[in-house]
Chains A and B, each alone.
Chain A
Amino acid sequence: MLRLIGRRLLLMVPTLILASILIFALAEVLPGDVGRSILGPYATQEQVELLNERLGADRPIYVRYAAWAGGFVTGDWGESLLLKVPVFPTVMKALGNSLVLAGFALVLIVPTSVLLGVFSGLRRDSALDRTITVSTLSMTVIPEFVSGVVLLYVFAVWLKVLPVTAMPPDGSPFVSRFYYLILPAIPLMFLELGYIARMARVGTVQVLAMPYIRTAVLKGLPRRRVIFGHVLRNAMVPTVTVIGSQVGWLIGGLVVIETLFVYPGIGKLMVDAAQTHDLPMLEAAVLMVAILYMLSNLIADIVVALLNPRIRAGG
């Protein structure tokens, strides 16, 4: 197990290097340049070239990459080219906000979807199973922008029982944030419930068909013990893997939710930085999300190994 963890952590380094190179390369092919983004479409060509020269944006890409990488690894993440704010605290604050939203959403999504999926698997092909499957999968296809607008209109505008934004006023206690995150978390639940519940259902159905479950039942073990001691534990293996892979999206992919609910998360920060060629901000934000994505997958794999001794022994 420790070797597995060590190997995975080591593999993160070349992965992050490759990701950082890819971001630089992709930013090169995006239309526009940072000087034009700062000065706007009405500045003259000469003005833009002068600014690009001042910012060093006219240097060869490998020179710029080396300069950025050198600063990044020594902790100097520089300043946003457009916003003129230090990158490190800006990215960390946005990342923290995204982690809070992702964490809250997971607290709502995981138990609900696992329960629904397992229940559905235990009652396979019943009317309840079909109802749960159809309704959760139907919710998955609703774009978060649509569900978000409807929820906002119903609960924040019409009924006025929930706040219209996702951030509490300055000075509010931390715990009050969760009240403000209820509405933004619901569209995320809609999107993830079907997927995770389906995996939990599949896992449950597969495990129920295993000979050792039949043996356990024939041995006379109580049904509750069979379910909690054997079925659930083994059905969670594929489910945990899927949850781990979704964490990255929940942290860095919520641009629509962040825009609609006015939530200062890392997804919107990355999109704005990409559109304006603000490379210091973009690189830092993407790499932080990449690190968290890899860590979440690693944690998921560790949990799976803990659940399944055969994997642990082979790792």
Chain B
Amino acid sequence: MADEKYASEYGQHLVDQVMKGKMTRRQLLVRASVFGLSVTAAGQLLAACGGDSEESASPAASAIPDPVMGGTIKMIGPAPITDPDPVTIYDQGGIVLVYQFLEYLIDLNNDNSLRGTLAETWTPNETVDVWTFNLRQGVTFNDGSPFEAEDVVTSIERVLDPDNGSGALSQLNGVLSPGGVKAVDAATVEFTLDKPFADFPYMVSSGNYNTAILPRSYKGDIIKNPVGTGPFMLDKYVTKQKATFTKNPNYWGKDDKGNQLPYLDGMEYIMVEDNSAQNLQLQSGAIDLQPQTVFQGAQALFADPNLRVDIYPGTGIREVAFNVDKEPWKDNPKLRQAVAYCLDREAINKALYDGRSNLGYDTFWEPSVFAGAPESTPRAQDYEKAKALLSEAGYPDGLEIELTFAKYLENPQYAQLIQEQCKPAGITVKLNQLSYEAYYAGDDADYYGTTPWINAPMTITEWGSRPAPGIYAAAMLLPDAVWSSSHWDNADFVSAFDEYESTVDEASRMELATTLSQTQQDETPILLSFYITQLRTQKKNVFGVGGPGSFYCDMSRAFMTA
């Protein structure tokens, strides 16, 4: 459908949903962003809904002073594990590094809504299996070459090529195949999908970090030739130690008042692996910004009078998966639910995150985390119910189960909490702690068939933020999902999910989301006790750092006051 007609019809549809009380204004903004409506258009829709304007999702919006030009910021984080090739990076260090001088078609706002960066608008066809992206004009790479549709085509096709080893291939599996990207003209790119997928824009956003847009001439030598369209340029890179950036004088971005971005003259990224060491450097005043602060050990940062810890509504999880191909979880949803009702989620949240994360109830469609999700059914600790379910599941006297996890982040503490909370119901949880390397290791000949994180009977796996419930579900709950630790294969869920992703009608999507959420809770292939809010720590004179926590660190509008 033509852009303007589409925008008009879809926009009216969203307004109708708000007026009928089936959607909040926040949900309207998020859905509008997914379907490529401009900020101006979304604002007009909100005005059409009437009522007061909503608060910004930014935690510090009301206290941000006017930007100051100049200065150099020192930020701290882990070193890239490998040579930071954007096509294959998968770790925080690599992602934060390349994010400073490369860009994506679409970026994530702090509330996980979408914002056009190298793409200005994007629209689906009526069957939601062809997406057309209109590219931003007047953008050049920092070597002076123009940014055009061909660069998008080669960048996305590069990650789709199995020979290049990109993790994005697994994410796009079943949605986009090699050859599915076409340059219509120099300013327009068309994606022909394998199947309808309404959340496709998320898959070419910064949320899919391997889809950074590189020049068509890119040959895998990013450090020697750090060519990108981003606000900064990579000046110097010392492996495992630091990287320095200078501002890109020809950056296309300007702020609302027409000032050239970025505000900063430069940045230094200091690479430090250990979280304690990072926190000490922050407290000493040697560092200005820590893009991602880990909860554990961060208490001193909250109390430091010179630092400000911003809290973002993150969507990271610690998935507790029941491998439904293995006993005792096979064909036994009641047993899985029994474990779910043993958990005191508030106590877990308090113990692991000092109560700062959002509670989860074993469904990805959690409205407190993903705007647009229907209400979920809360689950509180209920040992009577757990014991009744155990009895119905064929274990009236309880049973012993094994929980496998990596000694990483707060996984060991979470495992211990699960063990303690299951005991009163008669469930004995044997803890099988592995090193991080062993948890993710596997036989050379058949990695996904042997690695513990996919094959152990019950596992805890940490997942970084994903911007939408559909992205999570596609990654781990569908039968063809490579990363499914639960091996769940539910025909009703799959059918509803395919419908959910093939429609843009918000009323239908809400109904289908309700069905998906209920099915996921009823079957409980995985436990989701919480969604981890993200922390970012900076000196009190640092402002404007964007991105919804986790790996994302948008410095284009960052600045420091005196």
Q: Which A positions have Cβ atoms within 8 angstroms of B?
A: 30-33, 36-52, 58, 82-85, 90, 149, 152-153, 156-157, 160, 163-165, 259-262, 264, 269, 272, 275-276
- CB <8 Å contact, A90 and B239: yes
- CB <8 Å contact, A42 and B444: no
- CB <8 Å contact, A40 and B88: yes
- CB <8 Å contact, B81 and A82: yes
Please name 7 further chain A to chain B contacts, defined as beta carbons within 8 Å, in addition to the given A36-B447, A47-B166, sorted by A numbering: A39-B165, A40-B89, A41-B451, A42-B90, A47-B164, A85-B83, A149-B276
- CB <8 Å contact, B83 and A156: no
- CB <8 Å contact, B162 and A153: no
- CB <8 Å contact, B167 and A46: no
Question: With A and B bound together, what is the CA distance between A261 and B276 in angstroms?
Answer: 10
- CB <8 Å contact, A52 and B81: no
- CB <8 Å contact, A50 and B276: no
Q: A58-B444, A149-B276 are in contact. Are A48 and B165 (CB under 8 A)?
A: yes
Segment at the interface with A among B47-55, B282-290, B333-341, B353-361: B282-290
- CB <8 Å contact, A156 and B444: no
- CB <8 Å contact, B453 and A41: yes
- CB <8 Å contact, B280 and A164: yes
- CB <8 Å contact, A43 and B170: yes
- CB <8 Å contact, B88 and A32: no
Which residues of chain A have C-beta atoms less than 8 A from B276's C-beta?
149, 260
Which residues of chain B have C-beta atoms less than 8 A from A276's C-beta?
81-82
Q: A31-B438, A44-B169, A50-B163 are in contact. Are A83 and B82 (CB under 8 A)?
A: yes
Q: List 11 A-B contacts (CB under 8 A).
A: A31-B438, A32-B437, A32-B442, A39-B88, A43-B167, A44-B448, A45-B448, A58-B444, A82-B81, A165-B286, A259-B277
From A40, A49, A160, give the contact of B91 (CB < 8 A): A40
- CB <8 Å contact, A153 and B446: no
Q: Which of B226-251 contact A (CB under 8 A)?
A: 239-241
In the assembled complex, the CB of B234 is this many whole angstroms from the nearest CB of chain A, namely: 15
Q: Which of B266-305 contact A (CB under 8 A)?
A: 270, 272-274, 276-277, 280-281, 283-286
The reply to whether the CB of B184 lies closer than 8 angstroms to some CB of chain A is no
The reply to whether the CB of B472 lies closer than 8 angstroms to some CB of chain A is no
Instruction: State the 3 A-B residue pairs at the shortest beta-carbon distance, nearest first.
Output: A31-B441, A40-B90, A42-B167
CB-CB nearest in chain A for B274 = A259
- CB <8 Å contact, A40 and B240: no
CB-CB nearest in chain B for A153 = B280
Question: With A and B bound together, what is the CA distance between A90 and B240 in angstroms?
Answer: 11
- CB <8 Å contact, B162 and A50: yes
Which residues of chain B have C-beta atoms less than 8 A from A44's C-beta?
162, 169-170, 448, 482
Question: With A and B bound together, what is the CA distance between A260 and B83 in angstroms?
Answer: 23
Number of A-B contacts (CB under 8 A): 118
Q: Which B positions have Cβ atoms within 8 angstroms of A?
A: 81-83, 88-91, 162-167, 169-171, 223, 239-241, 270, 272-274, 276-277, 280-281, 283-286, 435, 437-438, 440-442, 444, 446-448, 451, 453, 482-483
CB-CB nearest in chain B for A31 = B441
Centre residue among A32, A51, A165, A262 by max chain B CB count within 10 A: A262
Q: A40-B90, A264-B240 are in contact. Are A164 and B441 (CB under 8 A)?
A: no
Which residues of chain A have C-beta atoms less than 8 A from B270's C-beta?
262
Q: A38-B88, A261-B277 are in contact. Are A47 and B165 (CB under 8 A)?
A: yes
From B83, B277, B442, give the contact of A36 (CB < 8 A): B442
- CB <8 Å contact, A164 and B284: yes
In the assembled complex, the CB of B375 is this many whole angstroms from the nearest CB of chain A, namely: 32
Which residues of chain A have C-beta atoms less than 8 A from B81's C-beta?
37, 82, 276
In the assembled complex, the CB of B174 is this many whole angstroms from the nearest CB of chain A, namely: 13
Which residues of chain B have C-beta atoms less than 8 A from A156's C-beta?
280, 284
Q: A31-B438, A50-B162, A262-B277 are in contact. Are A45 and B284 (CB under 8 A)?
A: no
Question: With A and B bound together, what is the CA distance between A229 and B374 in angstroms?
Answer: 88
In the assembled complex, the CB of B37 is this many whole angstroms from the nearest CB of chain A, namely: 31
In the assembled complex, the CB of A274 is this many whole angstroms from the nearest CB of chain B, namely: 10
Which residues of chain B have C-beta atoms less than 8 A from A83's C-beta?
82-83, 239-240
- CB <8 Å contact, A33 and B453: no
In the assembled complex, the CB of A228 is this many whole angstroms from the nearest CB of chain B, namely: 44
